[in-house]
Amino acid sequence: MSELEYTVEKAGVHAFLYTASTIIKLIILVATLMITARFLGPVNYGLYGLAQIPMSVLILFTDLGLDAAVLRYSSLYATRGRMCMVSELARTALATKLLLSLLVSAPLVLLGEELGVVFSSRSGIGLYVALTSLTLAPQVLVGDLSSLMVGLGEAWSWTIVSIVQPAVRLLAVVALFKLVAPSIENTIIATGLSYITALIIALLLVRKVISGGGCGLDFKEVLTYALAVYSGSVAGAIVGRLQSYILGFVTAGLGVLGNAMAGYFNAAYNFLGAVTAVYGAIATPLLPLFVYQSKSGEGNLEGVAEATLSALLALTLPLSLFSIVYSGDVIRAVYGFEYVSAAFYYTIISLTLLTWPFSVIAGSIIQAEGYKQVILKSNIIGLAAGVTLYTSLGLLLGVPGLAIAYATAGVPALVYQLLFLSRRGFEFDYSKYAKMFAASAVAVASSIPLAVLLPLSIARLTVGFLITLLAYSVASAGLRALTDVELSFLERVSRSIPVVGGVVSAYLGLYKRIKDYFARRY
């Protein structure tokens, strides 16, 4: 096996591990959301979401792009065998983020009521806003250490931390709700305890890296890259906070109904975040992989990127369309019947899942290559599109307008990135991707006639998913959506994965037999 094949296969195995641990994390998270949302009710759950807004604004000033820089440069330095530079980078970033976290926590404690009025258009939530300061610093530091783990390929360490945090949160929520009372305060306290526990464990897992000796880190270079990426964080935060502000503004005059509408939108938004977290876990090893391809001399970044995009689309397109079509059942199964109105918002905002593979591949290539100007321009385009769409559609159409804006705001920047990569020699086979989309659409549509006959949401989702999976194999094989090279890559990765790898291999074997059957007949 060549070094390239080994590296790609390792990235595939890590992607599986990140995905499996993220699914476990999200199962725990969904259980926590179900308990929290049902015990608090739509009104208090809406206020809980609104109380998070001030912290989500201030947390922007704790990053400066350092998480992305730690991920890229730890991978780059490790590829070059300079672990002493990794150690110095880890310590410097951790100390910087700790200082920034402590500085921005003070306004949450001292000005909670005022920040609630300014950012959430709500009075009387000052205590909730102040309590969110418990989660800020440990959350920021866990994020920094997680980036270090990914950059170094420490998939098992990342897995432990990513599962411990939500598990402790669930246990704390149950304990506090049972021993004290179901309340917004106890929900926030439980979150803070979970991040503190995760931080302690993360520090223990990377203690050898942090305690290593330094050797002349050029932190100016790191910071320059970090600030370029940070401009995207600023743009995203501005757009995200604008979304939250308009959500609070358009629902403020509606009383209890307005709080419930905010709860519905936040429920849809949070569940989409859970779905994208699973997708993001699949893509977690991509930046280290692309950095290796770009800087190690192997010289096949274009081919690896195209094959990876095809694999991501093959994995996610049927799932994305399934969640969109079955949004009502998904929301009822997770949140309960009283949140059924959230399905409308989820259907709209989940359209972003269809373009997610293109966004993550384009972004990972650009970051791996260090195209700072492209990163800056993409962020400016995203900011302009977001502000324009959220302001116009949100104020004109209310909460549905915010959903439409969310679904479309990222498209202009994605188009710019794909055009740039095309000029740099990256060729993507869009006709093949169209076949994958068609196969996914046919597969999901074929599941509807039988699934709708079932009375329970869980039953409809289970039967519909199984039919979709089988129909997708037939449709994609008939359309020859995957090439032999991509199938060989997926098979090689599946052989390295315990338990689930056997299931994946069996599925790929079924796909190949169907594909061969169509080849003989047609």
Q: Give the percent of the chain with pLDDT over 90.
A: 14
Q: Give the percent of the chain with pLDDT over 70.
A: 91
Please, are residues 393 and 401 in contact by the beta-carbon 8 Å criterion? Answer: yes
- Is residue 1 very low, low, confident or very high in pLDDT (cuts 50, 70, 90)? very low
Q: Tell me, what's the pLDDT at 222?
A: 84
Q: Cα separation of 51 and 46, whole Å? A: 9
DSSP 244-282: HHHHHHHHHTTHHHHHHHHHHHHHHHHHHHHHHHHHHHH
- Is residue 45 very low, low, confident or very high in pLDDT (cuts 50, 70, 90)? confident
Q: Cα separation of 216 and 448, whole Å? A: 61
Taking alpha carbons only, the member of 113, 200, 209 closest to residue 160 is: 200
Q: Cα separation of 404 and 234, whole Å? A: 22
**And the tokens for 124?**
């009387």
- B/e letters for 309-327, b = 16+ CB within 10 Å, e = fewer, are bbbbbbbbbbbbbbbbbbb
Q: Cα separation of 66 and 382, whole Å? A: 20
Evaluate if residue 436 carries a pLDDT over 90.
Answer: no
User: pLDDT by residue (tens digit) across 206-259?
Assistant: 988 888 777 777 788 888 888 888 888 788 878 887 887 888 888 877 777 777
Residues in contact with 96: Cβ distance below 8 Å, sequence separation at least 6, in sequence order: 64, 66
Q: Tell me, what's the pLDDT at 199?
A: 93
Mean pLDDT of all residues in 69-87: 83
Mean pLDDT of all residues in 42-52: 81
Q: Cα separation of 132 and 171, whole Å? A: 19
206: number of Cβ within 10 Å: 20
476: number of Cβ within 10 Å: 24
Mean pLDDT of all residues in 259-274: 83
Q: Cα separation of 288 and 294, whole Å? A: 10
Lowest mean pLDDT segment, chosen from 308-317, 444-453, 511-520: 511-520
Q: Tell me, what's the pLDDT at 298?
A: 55
Please, are residues 484 and 312 in contact by the beta-carbon 8 Å criterion? Answer: no
Q: Cα separation of 346 and 324, whole Å? A: 8
Cα-atom radius of gyration of the chain, to the nearest Å? Answer: 23
**And the tokens for 517?**
């059957």
Mean pLDDT of all residues in 291-295: 70
Burial class (CB in 10 A: 0-12, 13-18, 19+), 232: buried
User: pLDDT by residue (tens digit) across 357-378?
Assistant: 999 899 888 888 878 889 889 9
Taking alpha carbons only, the member of 183, 71, 209 closest to residue 128 is: 183
User: pLDDT by residue (tens digit) across 466-479?
Assistant: 888 888 888 877 77
Please, are residues 457 and 333 in contact by the beta-carbon 8 Å criterion? Answer: yes
Evaluate if residue 201 carries a pLDDT over 90.
Answer: yes
Q: Give how far Cα 411 sits from Cα of 378, 396, 448, Å.
A: 11, 21, 30
Q: Cα separation of 486 and 257, whole Å? A: 51
Q: Tell me, what's the pLDDT at 299?
A: 56
Evaluate if residue 447 carries a pLDDT over 60.
Answer: yes
Residues in contact with 143: Cβ distance below 8 Å, sequence separation at least 6, in sequence order: 67
